[in-house]
Structure 1
């Protein structure tokens, strides 16, 4: 029975893989030039040619799960560190390509196994593949030989002043100009710039080790930028010195910490950490994930923007319109001299906790809204002072809770954070895929050279109508025909339907509300089953720009640019998606009603499912899901379980006693 144990071990391993497999969303635009001063940088399809045309490059192509790659990793890094002087003396560099994230590019380079090592010049391999032992001495000897063979002049870039934005080096060189090497004149007190006072956070300029014992206590107060990592993770090892430099750069501004997920696995599991490294910014009990370029500059900017404490006070309608132009959602706090300061403090805290501080405005002039919106003189929607408002989907909605209750204000801001159908960005992707049971993605072409005038807005209108129909079915409320909101006015002072986004009552809403039906009433038959299923799920709609997300869509869903606008429905918790009808036709956006029908079909399990984690993981999950369902059925039907157990026991007993009638054991000698 050894094979049974082996099978169980392999199956459990695959199940663990299935449980842990994730497809992180990365910023599709986070491409930066390679820093030629870096030791062993990561190369991508976007920067490979530009890098390898500058000098000679010894490149390692690898995948993280390959045992040989894992053994080579520290050896490769040590050789790169030991021979880093060759960059300056011979213009010879060492780099690496992760073929998990750059699979298509590795295929273009004809990489057939891992690890694969090649020497490149002018963007092309110039030597046969390195086939010597993956050990320190032979690799070192090979590197030195190739460096001598292809020795070339080093192009020295002009120095960059330390305070110029846009630099990406991890640590500034000790001198920023040739003059820095000259003897420095004696300085006086008047020559020195006073030191910048250190703020209340990160006073030591270091990354604080966080554990299960101190995580909750320390992160309760102030902003924290935290790295969740595993010591064996190659990407984590490369990030380590950059993270230390980041902590120094944020001294006095943002707390920086790190969690070792090997030593504190339970802490990381409790927080849903599924890949390494994971970088999160925590504030007021909430977090947002950083998915951009892991340079000091990018992470520093992200941290400061995430914590931004300054709200914008507006005084005129022109100023309000200017500041809110292009914002899908924004908040306005109206107050006067008599308003309690704690109201503003609470609203500011809530805006930071929901990472909407850049969309948060204040004003002491209630007449601002009277000019921009058709505010009634009485009722809940009148411009009360102090008061908190949100604008989205063409409507202004008031907050009706206590202004000094932080939890209530935060919950309200979080619920109102996104419009009915936002554009997917790297900033909001976490919220959508972490907080939804079903995400309806519509892929659109936004290029005016390929799309006729007005078509893009027409598509968005159909998506919004479908999203509103589903919202009505789920909650009995409409975002596009709300009962407790104020419509924006045009320059003439009358309601502007285009700006307000006023939509007709769809057939779905008419049917649902016909005959005095409300949220308690459910239609009979299959339609009622769909409504009940919808109410049990969190459904969100979002649209994607194909030019921005095409690589991600292809990698995760196998989607191409053909057949736009196309529809993909994702169940992120199960890593399952739907992109075809039951008859094999691809899902496409043709009308709002068709999109509603697609969502209903997905909820009713009438669409064929695919696995974004891959076929093998999907197969294993299907098996274990079937086992789980069977187990659940048996435990909820104990008599059936006992009967089947008795049958299996009887058959087993009979077999052990001599087998079935008419069958005999016939030993046969094989010569």
Structure 2
């Protein structure tokens, strides 16, 4: 390129083979970046302009030389160089330099890192950063009045441009040495500090410039979505689909809100049939978030607020896995119910980090994923091996138990574990998440009322306390059962040794204490709450509870067996209290004695929530279904008059609840 009429060589790149020799002498300002990082992409033209501006500057006044080795060249005068390192291609090198987020700027002096800046900057801030360094190198050499900066992307400095006023700390050139000492002290403190402020990442400026949902064809989909790393939120629809028509205004409003933040698109599957077939679209509308050749299907509610909330979380996920320290993690716990945390150290490889980045896509709208090498966090969660993955729910950790490198990089295996623990300790039960919450386990379900704020707060607190205490009880029981298996194995080994039976001894030693099997045979217990006012008629029909009359109650639901429990061993109604809940759970799960708590049937539960999901996704199909039921009811009554006896199994009551909802 050329700048101010002078030739500028390409921006230097370093790698693991060249960096040691390059930075062992002089001053090097090195950017560590990822080509897939949006804020790196946004910062790239700023850094290029910064490089061209300083490379062609002349500290001792006007000159025509383009030789970098000339005495009056910027490079020679300050012994200062710019460089970049691609952290995707050189992951281990970036780990070696303790790079935790992108972009990171390191000032390396004679092989040692002396200054760090994390995050992108505008040209003024970047220039201030460089000016501070230059004043440190040669005190008093920088213009007291400041420098004229070009416009980002320009090939020259406009002579009519106003001079950017220098930062206050660099106004006194005679105090350069003292300033340098002070700046280095500040930099050292910032580097050592455990609360270094991280810049708020921003998406690139060329995203969704018009705030509209873009029509995508097979050709444009491949060019803009498939063959790029750009994130897209895409709606697959059919014009005749009434539910698609109902979604359209909300989708358009969400696209407007995402202007400059996230690409929004839509595919007409009546026109682009092959594209929709390739995307395995089986129902309309289908919403998918796509990035870098991978996708996740959106299964949440379709209100404007719900779509915007998901889209904003999708934008955040595109910024990479956030690196946090103990203070930032603690602040995050105040707003996030579920946080997955990846602990790493200097030996963690680029393959490990690549696998971690792939997980973030699947967690959008589910939970936060962060990484850390903070010692305080490692001590808090008793981490002694790296890398390690855990989930923290209300401060209570659950660990991913597979520790082998291949298991930590097995995205499918890790994701399976994440799905089992990504719900909050006590989530709200809705039609949208009912299958995930209720299926395959006992669920302690609090029937609460938001209308009574004080009781509602206390009840949720008691439910959460009971959940935490039950987790501790379950953990102790698991450890006890595991130890019993180990003791039984050791006993067989000792018996064989006593008898001198080498064959039996070898056989006993081969006995595997299968902890995974032990976990699988235990009945999992989950906790949730439901709005007893909003779902009043359904709850009354299924569980016989009216929260406005009976007050807050708790049900223990066993969906697999279509049973529920509503009384304690003493015969009292289960209330939102730790004592009431835990004594009931102990009785239900105790296999060694007769149960004092008797279950009741809840067979209409599955029908209700399945019906609600059908109503949400396919309203016209539901109308047809309802019409069929009405017709069947009329026919049934006529048959009764003729002596035919029939029933719908009490389904009319549940349908009545849908009509209210």
Give the alignment's TM-score, normalised by structure 1: 0.40
Quick one: higher RCO (CA 8 Å, sep 6+), 1 or 2?
1
Higher helix share: 2
Q: Is the radius of gyration larger for structure 1 or structure 2?
A: 2
